[in-house]
């Protein structure tokens, strides 16, 4: 998404009001609140629809996967053909995806799988359109303190939605309305958003010099899509298709071949789909890599919440209540992260936030204790998870975007947000796959370790949960290392003065 130098409202006299801003928030929250509920309610959906757990896990991951793949494309299209047009397209796609999921028939074999996956993919495309277009419109039609206020509401919509999704999903799924009501409510709010946004003047970015004759990099996009879809299907479907089966090997070959082709194409084109030259900046690379990895830690949610539902018999609402501390903590500490950035620079709060997140995940991985003990540990763990991400979010975005040249800020922002969605998709897929694979370990071997106390009939399940959760801790450790190696201890005075104005990333990676 290119920079829009004309940030003042248009000469028509139109000005946004609070109802218009509410429409923007509703458009954003449709993904982070409703689409992300599957992190918690997927066990119930899996049982009702009678689909395999590996396919259910793919349905969870595919939304973030498609969002991550197409967010750079959608951001560029929004600048070129109009932000309002792309925002409307995203809202309509949200309605379509929700309708397909809500109408997915139970136990209809291939039709059930096709509708569930198609609806989730369309929701991912919706998020790819809504996020960059809505941010660009907020930046276009607000100035000064009003823009900061508007961006705060934008962030509350995304952060609050991601924090509230497990609890809300559990509440709806256990009510008489059932899990399908989640998507009918999403449709209703999308229609309200369209009504509130009606009459918004169109906004486009000024054409870049020499960009008029450049063709879109379809080759790079196609290679990117094939490589990422192949590896995601391999990870999520590995337990059912076989890790070393012919299908599995074909998927790995597709990932490697098209991954290599993608890098060759992107480094040879003058107008690539993804501008890889921004990775020459080590600080941007470190911030983006750590952003990818910390968003990948979203796998903690699907494993821990799924585990207590299966092993302890929790309802989706009861498991969602474990994340209440996460919701409160993340909303309470976003501004704290901003203050820490202003006092210490980005490096320290990024490291502190990552360490706190890692401690939270470590507590959630202690599945060898009694149920009552685990509930306490998981609640504290999720709360620390939220505090850590709150500390990390704004400093990470600042480190990424304040250290790239002005002409690359748009490309850098798109890649940074793409890393958020792809990290979420791949992290969830790997965590869920490890959770399932580790359950095949001989229970007698696990019992011989003498670690698991209480019910010995579900030790394989609890062991699988611990392995899936510890993988998330590993990602956080790697994120900390990347920050230490790449992000400078202090931002220089020159960098601080030259820092372009960019909106804080509203990601869990949102």
Which tokens hold the place of 361?
Answer: 């995940």
Show the low-confidence residues of the chain (pLDDT under 50): 1-11, 492-495, 497-509
Instruction: Report which of 74, 72, 63, 68 is spatially closest to residue 121, judged by C-alpha positions.
Output: 63
Contact criterion met (CB below 8 Å) for 130 and 87: yes
- Alpha-carbon distance of 72 to 192, in angstroms, equals 27
Query: What pLDDT does residue 148 have?
Result: 60
- Alpha-carbon distance of 141 to 131, in angstroms, equals 16
Residues carrying CATH 1.20.1250.20, the chain = 1-215, 274-510
- pLDDT for 167-193, tens place per residue? 788 888 888 888 899 899 999 999 999
Q: What percent of the chain has pLDDT over 70?
A: 87
pTM, to two decimals: 0.77
Query: What pLDDT does residue 207 have?
Result: 62
Instruction: Report which of 299, 318, 300 is spatially closest to residue 309, judged by C-alpha positions.
Output: 318
Assign a CATH topology to domain 274-510. Growth Hormone; Chain: A; (1.20.1250)
3-state SS of 244-291 is CCHHHHHHHHHHHHHHHHHHHHHCCCCCCCCCHHHHHCHHHHHHHHHH
Taking the alpha carbons at both ends of the chain, their separation in whole angstroms is 16
The architecture in CATH of the region 1-215 reads Up-down Bundle (1.20)
Query: What pLDDT does residue 276 have?
Result: 81
- pLDDT for 100-120, tens place per residue? 999 999 888 889 989 999 999
Query: What pLDDT does residue 507 have?
Result: 40
For residue 208, what are the contacts with CB-CB under 8 A and spacing of at least 6?
Answer: 2
Query: What pLDDT does residue 30 have?
Result: 82
For residue 304, what are the contacts with CB-CB under 8 A and spacing of at least 6?
Answer: 322, 364, 378, 381, 382, 465, 469
């Amino acid at each position: 998404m290119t920079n829009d130098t004309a940030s003042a409202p248009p000469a028509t006299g139109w000005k946004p009001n609070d109802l218009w801003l509410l429409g923007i928030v509703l458009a954003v929250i449709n993904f982070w609140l409703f689409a992300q509920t599957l992190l918690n309610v997927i066990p119930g959906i899996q049982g009702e629809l009678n689909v395999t757990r590996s396919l259910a896990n793919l349905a969870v991951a595919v939304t973030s996967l498609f969002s991550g793949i197409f967010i750079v494309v959608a951001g560029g299209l929004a600048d070129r053909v109009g932000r309002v047009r792309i925002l409307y397209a995203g809202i309509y796609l949200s309605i379509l995806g929700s309708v397909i999921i809500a109408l997915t028939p139970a136990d209809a074999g291939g039709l059930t799988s096709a509708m569930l996956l198609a609806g989730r993919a369309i929701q991912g495309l919706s998020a790819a359109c809504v996020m960059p277009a809505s941010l660009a419109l907020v930046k276009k039609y607000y100035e000064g303190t009003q823009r900061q206020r508007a961006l705060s509401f934008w962030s509350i919509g995304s952060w609050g939605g991601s924090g509230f999704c497990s609890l809300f999903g559990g509440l709806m799924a256990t009510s008489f309305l059932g899990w399908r009501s989640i998507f009918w409510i999403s449709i209703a709010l999308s229609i309200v958003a369209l009504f509130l946004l009606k009459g918004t003047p169109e906004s486009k970015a000024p054409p870049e010099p020499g960009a008029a004759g450049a063709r879109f990099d379809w080759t790079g996009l196609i290679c990117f899509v094939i490589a990422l879809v192949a590896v995601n299907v391999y990870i999520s479907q590995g337990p059912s298709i076989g890790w070393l089966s012919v299908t599995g090997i074909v998927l790995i070959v597709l990932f490697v071949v098209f991954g290599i082709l993608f890098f060759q194409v992107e480094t040879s084109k003058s107008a690539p789909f993804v501008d890889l030259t921004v990775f020459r900046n080590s600080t941007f690379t470190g911030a983006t890599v750590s952003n990818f990895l910390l968003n990948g830690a979203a796998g903690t949610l699907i494993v821990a919440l799924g585990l207590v539902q299966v092993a302890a018999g929790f309802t989706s609402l009861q498991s969602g209540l474990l994340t209440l501390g996460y919701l409160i903590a993340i909303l309470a500490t976003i501004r704290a992260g901003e203050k820490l950035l202003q006092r210490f620079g980005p490096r320290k709060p990024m490291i502190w936030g990552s360490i706190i997140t890692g401690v939270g995940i470590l507590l959630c991985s202690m599945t060898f204790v009694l149920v009552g003990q685990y509930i306490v540990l998981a609640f504290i763990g999720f709360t620390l998870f939220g505090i850590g991400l709150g500390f990390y979010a704004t400093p990470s975005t600042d480190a990424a975007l304040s250290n790239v040249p002005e002409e690359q800020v748009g490309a850098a922002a798109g890649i940074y947000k793409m890393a958020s969605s792809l990290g979420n998709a791949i992290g969830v897929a790997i965590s869920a796959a490890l959770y399932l694979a580790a359950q095949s370990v001989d229970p007698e071997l696990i019992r011989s370790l003498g670690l698991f106390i209480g019910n010995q009939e579900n030790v394989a399940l609890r062991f699988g949960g611990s392995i899936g959760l510890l993988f998330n801790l590993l990602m956080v450790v790697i994120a900390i290392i990347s920050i230490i190696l790449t992000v400078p201890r202090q931002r220089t005075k020159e960098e601080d003065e030259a820092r372009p104005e960019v909106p804080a990333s509203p990601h869990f990676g949102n």
